[in-house]
Amino acid sequence: MRPSVLIAVSLLSLTLAGCLGGDTTTPADEPQANFLPELSSERVAAADKDLSKVIDSDHGGVPYLHAVPHLHEGSYGMRLVGYDPLTREGDEAPPNADSGYAAIDTWKHLVCIAHFAGSGGAGGGATIIDIADPTKPKVLASIPSMAVNSDCQFTDDGRYLLLATYTGAHAGPSLIPLLPPHIADAGANGVSVYDVQNPADPKFLFHDVQGADAPRSGAYHNVFTAQINGTHYVFQTYTGNILKIKEDASGLEMVSKIDHSDHDLWVGRHAITGEWTVVTGAGNGTAIFNVDDPAKPELLGVWEGDPDNRTKGWHRQWAVDGTIDGRAYLVVAGEECGNGDSLPYTVLDWTDPTTPFKTGSWWIPGEPANPRTAYPHLCEMNSHEFEVWNGYVATGNYHAGVWLFDVGSTERTQEPATIGYYLPSEDPRDHGGQWNVPFYWSPDVWGAYFDERGYIIAADWWSGLYILEFEGTAGIVE
């Protein structure tokens, strides 16, 4: 979901603008309204049962059981309201979305999901789904590609869709594997931009490798977009490059570069000051930049992290979408692929972005761990992509599934409250879909995301798209 850019308009400011006459100045000691409003003090109750045994780390020492979907089922505090397998037999749906479902972005009632080349054989790409009725998600279009795609992002106005490449050619049936390796890698780098004003009929505009410094650089592993002063800016993984979409939508143009960008980025308005900020990885920690003028980014502050206790903030960052007792907060986390244990999510107070500091942390209950076997593994139970809506944090944790916790009160910024979890386990064949061979770890969830109503959107790497609700979701379907 794109960061909120809704400005809270004060009735007082309208009065002082001269509509009613009188003094048009504000006394120096009169408090100014924060850019975003206070979160509601009414919070969803924390889980009232022990969830520390939900994730079985070793299945009694039989590691191949991690690939059996029906051994990984269950939920608490969240309910499945909509599902789509994304791949179907026959021609009644748009071209198959393949599998290997990765990052998701939402814009109003639209969802974009990127996919690596997976077992379905259709290659990488992205799929656009309409979830206006979350109980009946509707696949509108699938965009095939010749690359491994890990991210897709709508621009803030919903006009453009960026399909970003993880780098390197995939092994599926496409033209790229027929090319010499160095040419294939170069061709698989970069980002493709589409006009999606009609989301059922995406129009390809251009492919650009600006900032892709070398093959396999990972520059477009993740991207973030923000519309600042009417211009669409693109923020790039690893390189720290800030680019913009040209006015004629013919390509990207380099604008500037930030000093840190060790992985993901969040771009949005500070909850108190309203200044445009970039929050991104810096070493083990998190860096904050002012980008009111994207051509002149200014480093504001860095939180260093604490590698000794694995408390890091370099991999993912997301701002709380409102103030809490007049203060602003961030949630950040690291990742340790090749280790596989669960990791802490850290809450930072960034009321003053020049001096962010830790207030609390949250772990998956039981802190599930890598079983330490020779069984092939990736990131197992690690923290991965997450988003914040109304102070609630929905997160994907690979084999540990989807979890939901709350940081929406001062008390909960210090001790976040676990709300619930969901383990995706639908069989696509029960929904007219194709069966994709499960991964070594099934389920395998790249991330969890919110739409503007608070529905949680997630995908299992192999089985498809899941739409979940919880007690705090606005407009819950009865």
Euclidean distance between the first and the last CA atom of the chain, given in angstroms as a whole number:
23
pLDDT at position 259 over 80:
yes
| H/E run at residue 332 | strand 329-333
Amino acid 316: pLDDT: 94
Question: Which band of pLDDT confidence, cut at 50, 70 and 90, is reported for residue 57?
Answer: confident
- Structural contact between residues 346 and 313, judged by C-beta atoms closer than 8 angstroms: yes
Beta strands in 202-240 (DSSP E): 203-208, 223-228, 231-236
Amino acid 173: pLDDT: 38
- Structural contact between residues 201 and 128, judged by C-beta atoms closer than 8 angstroms: no
Looking at every residue in the chain, the average pLDDT score rounds to 84
pLDDT at position 358 over 90:
yes
Question: Which band of pLDDT confidence, cut at 50, 70 and 90, is reported for residue 374?
Answer: low
Q: Which residues pair with 358 in a beta bridge?
A: 348
Give 281-322 pLDDT, tens digit per residue. 999 999 999 999 999 999 999 999 987 777 888 999 999 999
Coil, helix or strand for 468? Answer: strand
Amino acid 66: pLDDT: 83
294-299 own/partner pairs: CB under 8 Å, 24+ apart: 294/228, 294/231, 294/233, 294/242, 294/244, 294/255, 294/256, 295/255, 295/256, 296/256, 297/242, 297/256, 297/257, 297/258, 299/258, 299/259, 299/260
DSSP 65: G
- Structural contact between residues 205 and 154, judged by C-beta atoms closer than 8 angstroms: no
Mean pLDDT on 450-463: 94
| Structure tokens that stand for 117 in this block | 């080349």
**What are the two backbone dihedrals, phi and then psi, of residue 182, each rounded to the nearest 5 degrees?**
-70, -35
Q: CA–CA distance from 459 to each of 110, 375, 432 (Å)?
A: 15, 24, 17
Give 398-450 pLDDT, tens digit per residue. 989 999 999 999 999 999 999 999 999 998 888 888 766 666 788 889 999 99
Ordered structural domains, the chain, with CATH: 33-469 (2.130.10.10)
pLDDT at position 162 over 90:
yes
pLDDT at position 97 over 70:
no
| Structure tokens that stand for 289 in this block | 């930049």
Amino acid 62: pLDDT: 79
Residues 6+ apart with CB under 8 A from 217: 167, 189, 238, 239
**What are the two backbone dihedrals, phi and then psi, of residue 388, each rounded to the nearest 5 degrees?**
-120, 135
Q: Is pLDDT larger for residue 189 or for residue 348?
A: 348
Residue 138 CA to its chain's centroid (Å): 21
C-beta atoms surrounding 477 within 10 Å: 14
pLDDT at position 10 over 60:
no
Amino acid 60: pLDDT: 78
Question: Rounded to 5 degrees, what angle do the CA atoms 147, 152, 156 make?
Answer: 150
Q: Is pLDDT larger for residue 319 or for residue 146?
A: 319
pLDDT at position 9 over 50:
no
